[in-house]
């Protein structure tokens, strides 16, 4: 684990198999607020000087954090923004982060949907309260742990001292992570890769048997100005055909309409490396040259950007590479997608249908899980469209 970059590890809470109940439950338990507080995770140093090979380290939990503005306002919810655990680490030493156990005072039986609109009350660990009649808090057993070795970055970040003086140790780690990602992206752009080096597109053979057939086609004008908008139309076609076990579209069709999440097709949600869209370029339109694979402009965030921070003079964002020249020819194509939510019926039938998404929208459907038992629809890749750059 780097000493100057944000750390990331996965925490999973599971209902015990032998708890005597198969009822679902919801709870509030935060890695930051519950795991990294004073009574939370233990940081153990591996050392031969101790009889059992471990030495518990004292973590300084004093001090408050000053939140930053803009889209950084939720940084305090990230594990370790204050850098408390970092300060105890030394390079090339091995450590174990151990969860000693705890409780979840905020919980209730049922699913999120069943508890929507209800007020959840804190419970007590030892026994139900005689006054409120609530069952006790959930006990979360300890023992889960992860081990790692601390390391220093080979190339120091030039802006480290300034960032740490301005925003503190933890936030400087986040800023350094952004800088290193940008440097890695710039290095990747300097390596010319052809479109043949990317994974192949999803094909008809990837469809799930006996599912509906959706196809995508693209349209665009033959020429576009590098100073104007890039306009490409995407059409999704549904004819009611069923994909048969012999790998062919059935001659039988259904007239039943369907409703599906269109964002699954256009957003490149990244479930598979073959999903999404690709852009290739032939410099000067030279047909003897291979199609170079293009990347989104620095900071492009795959098509959407957070604009809360102040403008920076000289910075810009574009869909095409910075060195795009007149006569360059671009090839754009859809590589395929998985439609995770769809259902029979049109707009009227689904006027009251509720589909839950994460707050950032550009991700998979949260509820209903598994699409009510209906299989995902595989949308194969499209034929490419080419356009030439003119003034």
Domain ranges of the chain: 25-188, 195-304+318-390
pLDDT at position 123 is 76
pLDDT at position 50 is 83
pLDDT at position 160 is 94
pLDDT in tens, the chain (391 residues): 999 998 877 888 888 887 778 888 898 888 877 888 888 899 999 998 888 889 999 888 776 556 555 555 555 555 444 578 888 899 999 999 999 998 888 888 899 889 888 888 877 655 554 455 667 888 899 999 999 999 999 999 999 999 989 888 888 898 999 999 888 877 877 776 777 766 788 888 888 888 899 999 999 999 999 888 888 999 999 988 888 766 566 667 788 899 999 888 887 666 667 888 989 999 999 999 989 888 765 444 444 555 566 777 876 666 788 888 999 999 999 999 999 899 999 999 999 999 998 887 778 888 888 888 888 899 999 999 999 999 8
- pTM here? 0.57
Cα–Cα distance for residue pair 127/343, rounded to 1 Å: 46
pLDDT at position 176 is 93
Q: How many residues does the chain have?
A: 391
Kindly give, in sequence order, each residue whose CB lies less than 8 Å from that of residue 158, ignoring residues fewer than 6 positions away. Answer: none
Kindly give, in sequence order, each residue whose CB lies less than 8 Å from that of residue 151, ignoring residues fewer than 6 positions away. Answer: 1, 2, 3, 91, 92
State whether residue 230 is helix, strand or coil.
Answer: coil
pLDDT at position 385 is 96
For residue 250, say if its preceding peptide bond is cis, omega within 30 degrees of 0: no
Contact assessment for residue 267 and residue 362, using Cβ atoms and an 8 Å cutoff: yes
pLDDT at position 168 is 82
Instruction: Report how far Cα 143 is from the mean position of its chain's Cα atoms.
Output: 28
pLDDT at position 208 is 85
Cα–Cα distance for residue pair 146/94, rounded to 1 Å: 11
Task: From 372, 390, 384, select the one nearest 230 (Cα to Cα).
Answer: 390
Contact assessment for residue 275 and residue 268, using Cβ atoms and an 8 Å cutoff: yes
pLDDT at position 275 is 86
pLDDT at position 75 is 54
Between the alpha carbon of residue 157 and those of residues 6, 152, 161, 164, 184, the distances in Å are 14, 11, 9, 11, 13
Cα–Cα distance for residue pair 3/254, rounded to 1 Å: 59
């Amino acid at each position: 684990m780097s000493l100057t970059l944000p750390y990331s590890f996965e925490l999973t809470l599971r209902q015990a198999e032998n708890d005597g109940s198969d009822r679902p439950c919801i709870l509030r338990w935060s890695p930051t607020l519950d795991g990294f507080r004073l009574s939370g995770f233990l940081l153990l140093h591996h050392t031969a000087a101790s009889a059992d090979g471990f030495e518990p380290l004292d973590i300084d939990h004093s001090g408050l954090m000053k939140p930053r503005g803009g889209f950084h306002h939720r940084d305090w919810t990230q594990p370790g923004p204050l850098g408390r655990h970092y300060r105890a680490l030394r390079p090339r030493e091995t450590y174990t982060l151990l969860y000693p156990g705890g409780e979840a005072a905020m919980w209730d039986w049922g699913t999120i949907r069943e508890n929507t609109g209800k007020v959840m009350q804190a419970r007590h660990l030892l026994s139900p309260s005689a006054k409120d009649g609530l069952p006790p808090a959930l006990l979360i057993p300890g023992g889960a742990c992860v081990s790692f070795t601390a390391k220093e970055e080979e190339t120091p970040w030039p802006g480290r001292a300034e960032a740490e003086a301005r925003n503190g140790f933890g936030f400087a780690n986040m800023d350094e992570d952004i800088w290193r990602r940008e440097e890695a992206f710039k290095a990747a752009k300097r390596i010319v890769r052809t479109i043949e080096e990317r994974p192949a597109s999803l094909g008809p053979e990837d469809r799930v048997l006996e599912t509906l057939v959706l196809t995508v086609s693209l349209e665009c004008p033959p020429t576009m100005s590098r100073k104007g908008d890039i306009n490409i139309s995407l059409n999704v076609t549904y004819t009611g055909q069923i994909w048969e076990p012999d790998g062919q579209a059935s001659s039988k069709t259904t007239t039943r309409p369907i409703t599906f999440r269109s964002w699954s097709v256009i957003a490149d949600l990244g479930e598979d490396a073959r999903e999404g869209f690709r852009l290739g370029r032939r410099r000067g339109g030279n047909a003897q040259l291979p199609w170079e694979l293009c990347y989104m402009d620095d900071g492009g965030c795959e098509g959407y950007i957070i604009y809360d921070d102040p403008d920076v003079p000289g910075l810009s964002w574009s869909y095409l590479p910075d060195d795009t020249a007149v006569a360059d020819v671009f090839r754009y194509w859809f590589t395929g997608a998985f439609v995770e939510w769809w259902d029979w019926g049109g707009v009227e039938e689904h006027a009251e249908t509720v589909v839950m998404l994460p707050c950032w929208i550009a991700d998979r459907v949260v509820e209903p899980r598994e699409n009510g038992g209906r299989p995902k629809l595989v949308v194969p890749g499209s034929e490419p469209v080419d356009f030439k750059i003119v003034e």
